[in-house]
Structure 1
Amino acid sequence: MDCVQGAKRHIEDCSIDLIITDPPYNLGFGGTSLTKTKKPRFNIIANDNLSNRDYQRFTFQWLRQAYRVLKPGRHIYVCMDWRMYPLVSLWMQRVGFAIKNCLVWDKMHMGMGWQYRFQHEFIIFAVKGNKQTRRISTRKASDIISVPRISGNKTIHPTEKPPELITPLILNSSDSGELVADFFIGSGPVAEAAIKNGRKLIGFEVDSKYYKLTTDRINKLKL
């Protein structure tokens, strides 16, 4: 279901220990077009091709719910493209989050293009409130995370992230048995990383296709 309505219906105030999520970047991206038909492999995901006004409204709606459900002093990680990073980080602050850092995902392999080909994405690291905030569990974590991207012809979602990117965030910002939320589950990398590392999970996905992919992924972990 939709994450805004889902959070209102299913998550109590200040009940989530950690949020990690990968929202639409509003770039209308359908995955690689290096296919036989020269067309993107996927349809554009929900809420990824909105007007600027509608995208701002949509982002504020889910961020307000994220702020409401997160426990004070706990962490939120939001994956974001460089083009939308300035706006989304500003909107997060307006909702009440305190931005602590900008992590860089080094994909270790260049993407397509001509003008300085893409090899990175950002992850906004923020906390709820400014007092008595939790620290990450290590002093050895760099703000650059080098994890190979999933090859375009192997992805099952147009903006898929590898679970190996998510795992250190979960280990650094939560304890075993705590509750992790993902407002945009997609194909389930946050779900996989959370469950493999002994965390509880609640998440939302509006697209029935990706919801099924994630539930199948979770079920395989339990075998």
Structure 2
Amino acid sequence: MFHGDCLRYLEQIPDNSVDALITDPPYSSGGLHMGARQQPPSAKYLQSGGGCNRYPEFTGDQRDQRSHLRWCVLWLTEAFRVLKPGAPVCLFSDWRQLPLTTDALQAAGFTWRGIAVWDKTEGVRPQLGRFRAQAEYIVWGSKGAMPLNRRAPALPGVVREPVRRKDKFHITGKPVALMQAIVKICEPGGLILDPFAGSGSTLVAAKLEGYRWLASEALQHNVQVASERVNSVSAATHVGPA
């Protein structure tokens, strides 16, 4: 795992060498106006009383829409270069940044193929007179044509998986079980790239399912947490191909 800026890391990866891009970048979201988006992530994303001091803050989540789009296109363009032809890409987003994420994906050269849904279940905080904000989204596509005979299963369009405290090590951390479902879009034994590793849920899922991985993370605390989590997964727990 590389500790530092993802653009510096991506520049070091050879062309056409990675089998899938699966990542959860900063959303720069959590508000309807600029003042709200510039609050610390703990204020934007954690429920009231949800343990704001439990997880460290993270950087890169306060950009306005124009700078966020430009930044996304920058790193996605580098990711396009390192992916193999036909490789899948999966990007997490919330509803506010869904249009921007689909634009950035295509601006970087990828073919946009659809949106999958992470259903966080009814455990999310309800608000009277409103729909529950119980879904986040996986914008997915590929580097050019995506052969129908790829060695990958049919994947669910909706993955229903709650957030469990024992499995959460980051303010916006994703459940490992969710990521186990997502990483299967990569062909067996492939190399998965995650430029925003966070607390390592994607990497743990990749190891559990028998994939190799490359990753970068800006915060040293998260590098340590992710490394410890991945190292705790023994070969005996692998459920995917070796």
Match of 2:8 among 5, 9, 16: 5
Match of 2:152 among 137, 142, 162: 137
Task: State the shift of 1:169 in Å.
Answer: 2.2
- Where 1:65 maps in the other structure, the secondary structure is helix
Task: State the shift of 1:149 in Å.
Answer: 2.0
**Are residues 133 and 13 of structure 1, via their aligned partners in 2, closer, same or farther at CA, if it must alter by over 3 Å?**
farther
Q: Work out the CA distance in 2 between the residues paired with 1:131 and 1:197.
A: 22
- 2:163 counterpart of 1:149: yes
- 2:67 counterpart of 1:54: yes
- 2:26 counterpart of 1:14: no
Structure 2: give runs of 5+ residues left out of the alignment: 30-39, 236-242
1:28-43 matches, within 5 Å, as 28-30=40-42, 31-35=45-49, 41-43=54-56
Task: State the shift of 1:2 in Å.
Answer: 0.8
**Are residues 134 and 81 of structure 1, via their aligned partners in 2, closer, same or farther at CA, if it must alter by over 3 Å?**
farther
Q: Work out the CA distance in 2 between the residues paired with 1:106 and 1:61.
A: 29
Q: Higher mean Cα deviation, 99-108 or 38-47?
A: 38-47
Match of 2:132 among 117, 123, 127: 117
- 2:132 counterpart of 1:126: no
Checking the alignment, whether the CA contact within 8 Å between 1:111 and 1:119 is kept in structure 2 is yes
Task: State the shift of 1:155 in Å.
Answer: 2.8
Q: Deviations over 1:13-69 (max 9, x none)?
A: 110001110000102532425339x85644542110112232122211111111111
Checking the alignment, whether the CA contact within 8 Å between 1:160 and 1:187 is kept in structure 2 is yes
1:189-200 matches, within 5 Å, as 189-200=201-212
**Are residues 160 and 146 of structure 1, via their aligned partners in 2, closer, same or farther at CA, if it must alter by over 3 Å?**
same
Q: Deviations over 1:134-153 (max 9, x none)?
A: 647234x33111112234x8
Checking the alignment, whether the CA contact within 8 Å between 1:18 and 1:180 is kept in structure 2 is yes
The TM-score with structure 1 as length reference comes to 0.88
Aligned to 1:67: 80
**Are residues 70 and 24 of structure 1, via their aligned partners in 2, closer, same or farther at CA, if it must alter by over 3 Å?**
same
Match of 1:82 among 67, 79, 95: 95
The letter for the 1-side match of 2:11 is: K
Task: State the shift of 1:165 in Å.
Answer: 0.8
**Are residues 34 and 92 of structure 1, via their aligned partners in 2, closer, same or farther at CA, if it must alter by over 3 Å?**
same
1:163-174 matches, within 5 Å, as 163-174=176-187
